[in-house]
Amino acid sequence: MTVATPTSVPREELDDESGSGRSETTVAWLFILPGAALLFLFIVVPFALAIWFSFTNQRLISPLPTRVVGLDNYLGELSDPLFWRSLWNNFRFAAFVVPFQTVFALVLAVLVNRKVRGRVFFRTVFFTPITVVMAAAATIWVLLFNVNGLVNGFFEVITFGNFSPDWLNDPTWAMWAIIVVSIWQGVGFQMLILLAALQDVPNQLYEAASIDGAGPWRQFTNVTIPGIRNALIFVLTVTTILAMRLFDQPTLMPSSPGGPLDSTRTTMVHMVDVGFGRQSIGRGSAIAVIFFVIVLVLTLIQRRFLKEEAS
């Protein structure tokens, strides 16, 4: 990795003035300026606009002037069954994916953390799907979940032909297809984070536990789990936030985004449908603000837990 030399900001003559505090301040602001301008323009301004628009009837293109409508957008959303349906789908997805994917990632990490032959090979294989971008992964799995696809071929064998749903066209099963793809593509990332944490647990702790007569399971629950507590909290919250952001799979996999019968419609699918599809920037912004508040709460919970550990 070559380090790019800064081209736009620095000027050589500044180098000679390093001693004085004033020039250090100047240099600091020159270093910060490009990033600060971009952060302001593309995070701070749109964030402020999201809050402002959420109280107006702003549309993407409209001949009529924008009006302040107070809480109408929020009240409208909170009384819209479609909004609650979307939130419920995020919850349904998270309720399974968060615990399952975390445990699965931990199992994979423990397996490849053992000093056995082939661990690098298996680690590579477990991690490979992360290089398949979600849009491509979703496309491959659409074919696999086809009613006559390989997944049903598998179930036909193990259930003697008693189970072959039309996954992506069946409201009962569509979300499960999305769950499988998400885990397939994402679990390798969590595995690596947990693996790094496992390798940081001091060996003396295992030795001490072993001398005290703790078996492998006791060592796992009393040494390993507390030792990787922070990484586990990190993985749990990041996976929960990712579950809130679920968009690509429910947009690409069913024959219509969020379908069938809104069974995979998520908050983000709903927001894009309202804000972009129906061009209602005001209402879409209200959904964005609600979404942000949920993510904020999740993040604060995470930081709370991490703080407890530190103290």
Region of 70-78, 81-89, 169-177, 264-272 interacting with another protein (CB under 8 A)? 264-272
Residue 285 · residue 269 · CB < 8 Å:
no
Taking the complex as a whole, the smallest distance from the CB of residue 87 to another protein amounts, in Å, to 14
Which window, 1-9, 67-75, 80-88, 92-100, contacts another protein (CB under 8 A)? 1-9
CA distances from 248 to 39, 67, 147 (A): 25, 33, 21
Does residue 311 touch another protein according to CB under 8 A? no
Q: Binders of another protein among 108-127, rule CB under 8 A? A: 108, 111-116, 118, 122-127
- Chosen residue from 68, 75, 136, 225 binding another protein by CB under 8 A: 136
201 or 261, CB closer to another protein?
201
Q: Chain centroid to CA 256: how far? A: 23
The least CB distance from residue 171 to another protein, in Å, is 20
Residue with tokens 């293109």: 61
The interface region with another protein, picked from 72-80, 82-90, 167-175, 226-234 by CB under 8 A, is 226-234
Q: Does residue 56 interact with another protein by CB under 8 A?
A: no
Which residues 66-105 are close enough to bind another protein by CB under 8 A?
none
3 binds another protein (CB under 8 A): yes
**88, 207, 259, 264: which one binds another protein (CB under 8 A):** 207
CB of 118 to another protein, least distance (A): 8
Q: How far apart are CB 12 and another protein at their closest, in Å?
A: 7
The CA–CA distances, whole Å, from 172 to 133, 175, 246, 260, 285 equal 26, 7, 18, 9, 30
Among positions 176-195, residues that touch another protein (CB under 8 A) are: 184, 188-189, 192-193, 195
Size of interface with another protein, in residues (CB under 8 A): 127
Q: Supply the DSSP string of the chain, one letter for each residue.
A: -PPPPP-SS--GGGGGGTTSHHHHHHHHHHHHHHHHHHHIIIIIHHHHHHHHHTTB---SS-SSPP-B-TTHHHHHHHT-HHHHHHHHHHHHHHHHHHHHHHHHHHHHHHHHHS--TTHHHHHHHHHGGGGS-HHHHHHHHHHHTSTTSHHHHHHHHHTTTS----GGG-TTTHHHHHHHHHHHHHHHHHHHHHHHHHHHS-HHHHHHHHHTT--HHHHIIIIIHHHTHHHHHHHHHHHHHHHHT--HHHHHSSSSTT-STTTT--HHHHHHIIIIIS--HHHHHHHHHHHHHHHHHHHHHHHHHHHHHH-
Query: C-beta of 162: minimal distance to another protein in Å?
Result: 15
CB of 14 to another protein, least distance (A): 6
Binds another protein (CB under 8 A): choice among 82, 139, 166, 260: 139
Here's the x/- map for another protein, 26-45, by CB under 8 A: it reads as: -xxx-xx-xxxxxx-xxxxx
Q: Which of 67, 78, 99, 153 binds another protein (CB under 8 A)?
A: 153
Applying CB under 8 A, the span of 71-79, 88-96, 146-154, 165-173 interacting with another protein comes to 146-154
Question: Is 62 a binder of another protein (CB under 8 A)?
Answer: no
